[in-house]
Amino acid sequence: MSQTKSHPVIEFRNVSYRLNGDAGRELLHDLNLRVERGETLVLLGRSGSGKTTTLKLINHLLTPTAGEVRVEQRPTREWDVIRLRRMIGYVIQEVGLFPHFTVARNIGLVPKIENWPANRIAERVQELLALVGLHPEIALRYPRELSGGQRQRVGVARALAADPPILLMDEPFGALDPITRAELQREFLGLQNRLRKTIVFVTHDLREALLLGTRIALMEAGRLVTVQTAEEFPTCVEPLAAAYREAFGSDLENSRQRDQP
């Protein structure tokens, strides 16, 4: 890749979002943020800080009430919303697998509506199952027959199905037990090393943010407090960042170093 400064993949320009138009509560206030190609930007903050709102503004599940969100330099308002969403993988905490579809149909749905030939879809499904560390036989099962960890793996595979350049992940590992979570976080890092997607990742877990993020955007009450690289964050003087570090205790410093070569 050349070193010339490329344009950001996603850009927030003075974005605010209010519930029910102008009258409602402001969930997001004057956000300015750039997400660069190939990075994992973590949105860190507690519930109600505006992380999920920020995420949904990117794939136009929500429309900004002020300012604009640009994806590939084009305001989301001007995108054909279906085309926009098909180039953005979306993974949520509840996974949201289609309960009446097998795993294979869940993963292959977007390729299918994009009119891929059946054999190519089947190949892609197997490829993705391998990628997220699932046994090929799982393809024929239904979501209810899977464990929580398996479901979220299928959710990730489904989001990657049509090879979108952008991935949005809303606390994808939040509902998993600690061991499964650690496993999926490790695999996420391996996956990201190979695929180099542009990822926006929402979490309230500082440890997860430090482990997975290239940069961390700290949010509070609908405002962006600071954006720091994962390396800078542990020494960031911002009071809220310090408060976070304190809340997560002293074993924090080790958590990132452990995973670095």
CA angle (93, 96, 102) in 5-degree steps: 130
Stretch that binds other proteins, among 13-21, 95-103, 179-187, 236-244 (CB under 8 A): 95-103
Measured from the CB atom, is 82 or 179 closer to other proteins?
82
Please report the DSSP string for 149-211 in residue order: HHHHHHHHHHHHTT--SEEEEESTTTTS-HHHHHHHHHHHHHHHHHH--EEEEEES-HHHHHH
Residue 180 burial class via C-beta count within 10 angstroms: exposed 0-12, middle 13-18, buried 19 and up: middle
Total binding residues toward other proteins, as defined by CB under 8 A: 27
177 is a site residue for other proteins (CB under 8 A):
no
- Is 89 a binding residue for other proteins by CB under 8 A? The answer is yes
Q: According to CB under 8 A, which residues from 180 to 239 bind other proteins?
A: none
Residues 60-79 that bind other proteins (CB under 8 A): 61
Positions in 136-165 near other proteins (CB under 8 A): 142, 144, 155, 158-159
One of 78, 94, 123, 238 touching other proteins (CB under 8 A): 94
Residue 116 makes contact with other proteins by CB under 8 A: no
92 binds other proteins (CB under 8 A): yes
51: how many CB neighbours lie within 10 A of its CB?
Answer: 25
Residue 40 makes CB contacts below 8 A (sequence gap 6+) with 192, 199, 200, 201, 212, 213, 214, 215
Q: Which residues bind other proteins (CB under 8 A)?
A: 59, 61, 82-86, 88-90, 92, 94-100, 109-110, 113, 142, 144, 155, 158-159, 168
